[in-house]
Amino acid sequence: MFTLLQTDPQSKARRGRLETRHGVIETPIFMPVGTQGSVKAVSPNELREVGAQIILGNTYHLFVRPGMQVMRHFGGLHRFMAWDGPILTDSGGFQVFSLAKLRKITEEGVHFQNHLDGAPCFLGPREAMEIQATLGSDICMLFDECPPYPCEHASAAESLARTLRWAARCQEVETPGLKFGIVQGSSYSDLRRESAEALVALGFDGYAVGGVSVGEPEPEMMKAVEASEPWLPADKPRYAMGLGTPPQMVEMVARGIDMFDCVLPTRLARNGTAFTARGTISLKNAPFIFDQGPIEEGCTCAACRQFTRGYLRHLVKSEEILGLRLISLHNLHFYLSLMTRIRQAIEAGTFAEFRREFVAGYRHDAPQSVTSL
């Protein structure tokens, strides 16, 4: 289902193709995040216009609301949200540990109170996979425990052991879509290797690096990926979960990663921040008041084709929804175009040059860091 088309001679960058039940995905790829069954402020038609090949849905959120009775009634997430392209669903593990309250972890899974009304809920490996089957997910993520950062070696090892036992249980549940294992192990290279090797021994359709973008410094994030990747098979896709900034993604591609997801493009847009090749700009800033140029010169997105920075600044300052809509579109277009350029550079054998120039041109100011959010 995954075809490795080309590898970069100067880095671990890969050009690949992943076939799913709802279509083919050209990798490396960025996946817009549609947590609650909607990529925030963006319609399915607009997702197609900005070139989204696959989007994310979230098991935890959809399980809590609208609930599985509704999802079953509507025949799954694709029909519910009117998106007929591929969908990857998070397993809910990360959210149970970051959003829910009063957790109690057992060998069977996690008892918790949901973040909406505090109702008692339970999610375990079996439940998470069954939910993803009900959602009709094209790529189901295994139910894992995501330890916080920092984490002692002993706790990380204990957590990893449980995650691996859960992985075996997840494997037993039949799902219509592909199944991706999630490498954990916190900041510890020995645990990352152990995790990767154990998952590969079980055998999944793809492998994710989890427990990154959870508050650790960027070098730690890179290290976690570098410690996991060598133990993953070349003929399966690799997915770095929940990141990142544009240069982080370029660097991750150079380290052998094929897939990304991140809320940054839409979340920063709602705060008036737009991505450009030279870094982020805050359209709230006074210098844009009289600016008649687009967000980024040469950009072909719907926002840049029609609207000026001056107008967008006015919309953001006036808290008009159209402002965050247009910046969301631009930011998603930026992320997806970056992936297109990465794929073209790998194909043309110019990825090393592209990587050097892109990363050097991108200003690293505070708002560009995932971890500062």
Binding residues vs its own copies (CB under 8 A) = 36-38, 40-45, 65-66, 70, 73-74, 80-82, 289-290, 292, 306-308, 310-311, 314-315, 317-318, 320-326
The CB-of-308 to its own copies minimum distance in angstroms stands at 7
Active site residue 90: yes
The CB-of-137 to its own copies minimum distance in angstroms stands at 17
* Residue 286 or 360 having the CB closest to its own copies: 286
d(CA 251, CA 245): 10
* Residue 74 or 231 having the CB closest to its own copies: 74
* Residue 198 or 304 having the CB closest to its own copies: 304
The CB-of-330 to its own copies minimum distance in angstroms stands at 13
Tell the residue number behind the tokens 């844009």, with chain if given: 288
* Residue 44 or 272 having the CB closest to its own copies: 44
* Residue 313 or 343 having the CB closest to its own copies: 313
The CB-of-7 to its own copies minimum distance in angstroms stands at 39
Catalytic residue among 90, 138, 144, 258: 90
* Residue 318 or 372 having the CB closest to its own copies: 318
The CB-of-315 to its own copies minimum distance in angstroms stands at 6
Interaxial angle between packed helices 351-361 and 321-348, expressed in degrees from 0 to 180 and rounded to the nearest 10: 150
Active site residue 138: no
Whether omega for the bond prior to residue 28 falls within 30 degrees of 0, making it cis, is yes
d(CA 373, CA 371): 5
Which residues carry out catalysis?
90, 261
